[in-house]
């Protein structure tokens, strides 16, 4: 039974309903000193307790700031909010610290000196959070934990899914129907994620203090203890990235089968808990603190795309154009017909790592349903199908598709290649220090306290993001 096709959407939904959605972002970034070294100072007190601040917390390390936006019904609002939160972080960390805007780390101290995030041990959640990080550091090493990225959260509007459900022939309950919608997107994303790695990859350099495994893949030196590659766009997503010890392939045909496989991985000792499954896309439940039970009880609430590198050229770590293309790509994944090829997950990993490390080599071979192909040929096929979808559904997104087409045919237009050019001129560390300092200066110019005071939404975000500061709490 084919539930989600161009024809199904065309006869059931308006273009506005197809494009309606909920959007959120998460951005990780390392605090650094003016020399580009990891700042090993504690997470700034002004941001309050890590488990209580909804917007600004830490990831693995005390030095690794994580910014989380609320959910918005437009990409413009989500982008505007993360920009504002970035400004808050930049202007409230110490004056001599900056946020590193690259997925691969800065100059690192010895592994044992990388500070694991500290939590309030007087409560159970704090103890569990800190113990979990200690286990990860032993299993994967502390250096890999400092690899940072962007998480792109998306769901269709409930009204859109309900309308599809009522006007499509099937035997599913609404919960099952909704799950099948997100499961199809997930399966196809795992098949085609190589394209997003190519288009958004921006992790092409590293410092000599990073892992030997990664440095061995970077064939160039910048003359200042930096290494880089001209061959691929995303070494964060390559073989030396932060991934599970072995590739794990849960089933994605039903939520039940997916959860059964995750539980099996835990029982076999391959995972300590469900969130240690580092897939490129995650099925997200209503209760994020109880993933397995919530997915089992409530189904899939939204999807989280974890492929996107931090874009060094955007203060927010992701451009609005890339956010918009990802949205369109998700719609394409929903209507794209699936193949019967049974090794699709293994093939997806192969293509992921090939593109990540060799995506700028025109002779790089990809696998498509067991047959050899190349990036330009397959990428153009996807672009043509997206153009047809755009035309049939009247989405009016030609500009976004054309933008991707240009990059597929000319890798010099990609983020990764632009960064290679800068590293060749300035070096890896110096170029990234310059970007970090410029971002902080931009944030200082952007934060206008009178504007915040007079804007209700900004004021509420400001107060929640900075519980250690008590400005604007009164009804000024």
Percent of the chain, pLDDT > 90? 92
CA 141 to chain centre: 21
Mark 383-405 as b/e (b = at least 16 C-beta within 10 Å).
bebbeebbeebebebeebbebbb
Q: What is the DSSP letter of 338?
A: P
Mean pLDDT of 201-225: 98
Q: What are phi and psi of 18, to 5 degrees?
A: -65, -40
Give the confidence band of 1 by pLDDT, cuts at 50, 70, 90. low
Each residue's pLDDT tens digit, 244-282: 999 999 999 999 999 999 999 999 999 999 999 999 999
Instruction: Pick one of 3.40.50.980, 3.40.720.10, 3.30.590.20, 3.40.50.300 as the CATH number of 6-465.
Output: 3.30.590.20
pLDDT of residue 353: 98
Please give the C-alpha separations between residue 422 and each of 54, 120, 316, 406, 430, in angstroms, as whole numbers. Answer: 35, 42, 19, 21, 10
pLDDT of residue 457: 81
Percent of the chain, pLDDT > 70? 98
pLDDT of residue 289: 87
Contact 147, 105 (CB under 8 A): yes
Q: Rounded to whole angstroms, how far apart are CA atoms 242 and 59?
A: 14
Q: Rounded to whole angstroms, how far apart are CA atoms 119 and 111?
A: 20
Give the confidence band of 226 by pLDDT, cuts at 50, 70, 90. very high
Mark 429-457 as b/e (b = at least 16 C-beta within 10 Å).
bbbbbebbeebbeebeebeeeeebeeeee
Please give the C-alpha separations between residue 387 and each of 338, 375, 397, 405, 470, in angstroms, as whole numbers. Answer: 18, 18, 9, 10, 51
pLDDT of residue 163: 98
Q: Rounded to whole angstroms, how far apart are CA atoms 97 and 62?
A: 14
Each residue's pLDDT tens digit, 438-453: 999 999 999 887 778 8
Place of tokens 């499961």: 183
Give the confidence band of 456 by pLDDT, cuts at 50, 70, 90. confident
Each residue's pLDDT tens digit, 415-437: 999 999 999 999 999 999 999 99
Mean pLDDT of 359-381: 97
pTM of the model: 0.96
Q: How big is the chain, counted in residues?
A: 476
Q: Is the pLDDT of residue 473 over 80?
A: no
pLDDT of residue 474: 39
pLDDT of residue 440: 98
Q: Which range is least confidently modeled, 23-37, 130-144, 307-321, 458-472?
A: 458-472
Mean pLDDT of 195-214: 98
Q: Is the pLDDT of residue 82 over 80?
A: yes
Q: Which two tokens stand for residue 31?
A: 């605090």
Q: Is the pLDDT of residue 469 over 50?
A: yes
Indicate the average pLDDT of the chain: 96
Please give the C-alpha separations between residue 269 and each of 139, 258, 276, 341, 345, in angstroms, as whole numbers. Answer: 12, 17, 11, 29, 21
Q: Rounded to whole angstroms, how far apart are CA atoms 414 and 233?
A: 8
pLDDT of residue 458: 87
pLDDT of residue 334: 98
Mean pLDDT of 114-139: 92
Each residue's pLDDT tens digit, 291-321: 999 999 999 999 999 999 999 999 999 999 9
Q: Rounded to whole angstroms, how far apart are CA atoms 459 and 271?
A: 41
Mean pLDDT of 133-145: 96
């Amino acid at each position: 039974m084919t539930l989600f096709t161009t024809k199904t959407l065309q006869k059931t939904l308006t273009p506005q309903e197809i494009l309606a959605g909920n959007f959120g972002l998460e951005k990780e970034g390392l605090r650094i000193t003016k020399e580009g070294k990891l700042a090993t100072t504690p997470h700034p007190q002004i941001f309050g307790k890590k488990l209580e601040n909804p917007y600004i917390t830490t990831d693995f390390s005390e030095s690794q700031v994580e910014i989380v936006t609320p959910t918005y019904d437009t990409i413009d609002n989500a982008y505007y909010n993360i920009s504002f939160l970035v400004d808050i972080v930049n202007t409230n960390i110490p004056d001599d610290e900056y946020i590193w805007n690259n997925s691969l780390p800065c100059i690192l101290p010895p592994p044992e000196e990388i500070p694991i995030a500290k939590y309030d041990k007087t409560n159970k959640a704090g103890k569990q959070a800190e113990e979990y990080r200690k286990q990860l550091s032993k299993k994967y090493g502390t250096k890999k934990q400092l690899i940072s990225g962007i998480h792109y959260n998306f769901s269709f509007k409930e009204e859109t899914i309900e309308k599809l459900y009522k006007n499509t022939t099937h035997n599913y309950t609404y919960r099952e129907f909704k799950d099948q919608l997100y499961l199809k997107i997930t399966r196809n994303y795992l098949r085609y994620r190589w394209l997003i790695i190519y288009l958004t990859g921006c992790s092409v350099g590293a410092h000599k203090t990073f892992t030997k495994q990664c440095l061995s893949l970077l064939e160039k030196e910048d003359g200042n203890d930096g290494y880089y590659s001209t061959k691929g766009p995303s070494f964060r997503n390559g073989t030396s990235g932060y991934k599970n010890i072995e590739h794990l392939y849960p089933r994605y045909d039903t939520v039940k089968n997916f959860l059964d496989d995750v539980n099996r991985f835990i029982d076999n000792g391959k995972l300590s808990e469900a969130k240690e499954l580092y897939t490129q896309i995650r099925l997200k439940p209503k209760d994020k603190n109880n993933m397995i039970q919530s997915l089992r009880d409530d189904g899939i609430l939204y999807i989280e795309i974890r492929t996107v590198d931090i874009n060094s050229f955007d203060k927010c770590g992701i451009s609005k154009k890339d956010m918009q293309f990802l949205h369109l790509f998700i719609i394409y994944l929903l209507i794209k017909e699936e193949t019967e090829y049974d090794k699709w997950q293994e093939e997806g990993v192969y293509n992921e790592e090939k593109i990540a490390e060799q995506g700028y080599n025109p002779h790089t071979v990809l696998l498509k349903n067991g047959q050899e192909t190349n990036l330009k040929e397959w990428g153009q096929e996807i672009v043509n199908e997206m153009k047809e979808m755009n035309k049939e559904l009247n989405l009016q997104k030609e500009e976004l598709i054309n933008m991707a087409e240009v990059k597929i045919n000319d890798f010099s237009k990609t983020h990764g290649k632009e960064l290679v050019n800068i590293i060749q001129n300035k070096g890896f560390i110096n170029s990234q220090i310059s970007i970090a300092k410029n971002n902080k200066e931009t944030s200082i110019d952007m934060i206008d306290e009178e504007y915040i005071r007079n804007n209700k939404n900004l004021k509420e975000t400001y107060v929640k993001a900075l519980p250690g500061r008590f400005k604007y709490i009164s009804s000024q």
